[in-house]
Amino acid sequence: MFNALVVSKNEDGKTNAAVEQIGLDDLPAGDVTVAVEYSTVNYKDGLCIGPGGGLVRNYPHVPGIDFAGTVEASDDARYKAGDKVVLTGWRVGEAHWGGHSQKARVKADWLVPLPSGLDTRQAMAIGTAGFTAMLAVMALEDHGIKDGPVLVTGAAGGVGSVATAILAQLGHEVAAVTGRPETADYLTSLGATQIVAREELNETVKRPLEGEVWGGCVDAVGGEMLARLLGQIKYGGSVAAVGLAGGAGLPATVIPFLLRGVNLLGIDSVMQPYENRLRAWERIAKDLPMDKLEAMVHSSVLSDLPELGRDILKGQVKGRVVVDVNA
């Protein structure tokens, strides 16, 4: 038997999350059984753990949209016992039991080998948020980052923190948008050269085009902030849209696309093919300074997760939360 965070649904429709002992026979079908070492807490985990259940497709459910650990048993020739592996995406932690557990069983196709240069804790300090930040930076690079500061919204959150550190490491000026002024020193330590108050960008768009300011943007917030910043992107620049922490609506006009050739690039970390995953993880190992990564990380344990799930939905988590599932 081993420990897992189990989310169950009561008869009244409310969910309850608690650490329970479960067995290997309880795990869903899959080719590879992994002894999980670390998982994380992402915004989606907050939705899964939270009272409404959010994205969860089946109950009881084990959340945890990513994990890193050691293969314990494998029916797939690509993996053998003892191999270190990482998983992000594929609706694990939503439709398939995830990493908030000391063991997980998944399809071999969903795994990637732990990239050289990273240990399992570092891989989860990066986790889905960092992986997504890298995909966003790569998408901006593919379309050309213009001169001028690159804007990162939701900067003190998981995706924003990693995006800030990677862009700064690559030599870009980074303007970090945050609603928490007290995180300014933290964001500067990650490499941000400018701190932009959330309120400055959070007004409903009044003019579809404003002055051209930003050479590109990684946007974790969406909503009114995304609508507003589209009108401030330099001619031909791009916005990599990652998230909706500030809302799913988009009260924008088509004008920035028509008159400034702005590109709105949707980033999906969930269904990325294997080759893209490997490429992104290799770039992370190369371009993310590990000392900055340490500054972003908080450690937690399985029993902390119900509270952390609530905190992340309120935008109160700074940086990345790594869960040591065996502590």
Binding residues for ligand NDP, rule: CB under 6 A, are 42-44, 128-129, 132, 154-160, 178-180, 198, 220-221, 225, 242-246, 267-270, 312, 315, 317
The residue count of the chain comes to 327
Minimal distance, residue 177 CB to ligand NDP, in Å = 7
For residue 145, give the amino acid letter.
Answer: I
Of residues 31 and 219, the one with the C-beta less far from ligand NDP: 219
Integer Cα distance of 6 and 209 in angstroms: 48
Is residue 109 within 8 A of residue 115, CB to CB? The reply is no
Query: With respect to ligand NDP, which residue has the nearer C-beta, 27 or 205?
Result: 205
Give Cβ neighbours of residue 141 (< 8 Å, ≥ 6 apart): none
On whether the CB atoms of residues 218 and 152 are closer than 8 A, the answer is: yes
Nearer to ligand NDP, 36 or 317 (CB): 317
Q: Cβ of residue 21: shortest distance to ligand NDP, in angstroms?
A: 29
Return the number of the residue (22 or 176) whose C-beta is nearest ligand NDP.
176
Taking the complex as a whole, how short is the minimal distance between the CB of residue 321 and ligand NDP, in angstroms? 8
Q: In the bound complex, what is the minimum distance in angstroms from residue 119's beta carbon to ligand NDP?
A: 21
243 vs 256 by CB, closer to ligand NDP: 243
| Residue 205 per-residue DSSP state | P
Report the residue closest to ligand NDP, judged by CB.
157
Minimum separation from the CB atom of position 281 to ligand NDP (A): 15
**Cβ within 8 Å of residue 7, ≥6 positions away:** 15, 16, 17, 48, 49, 53, 56, 59, 60, 61, 62, 63
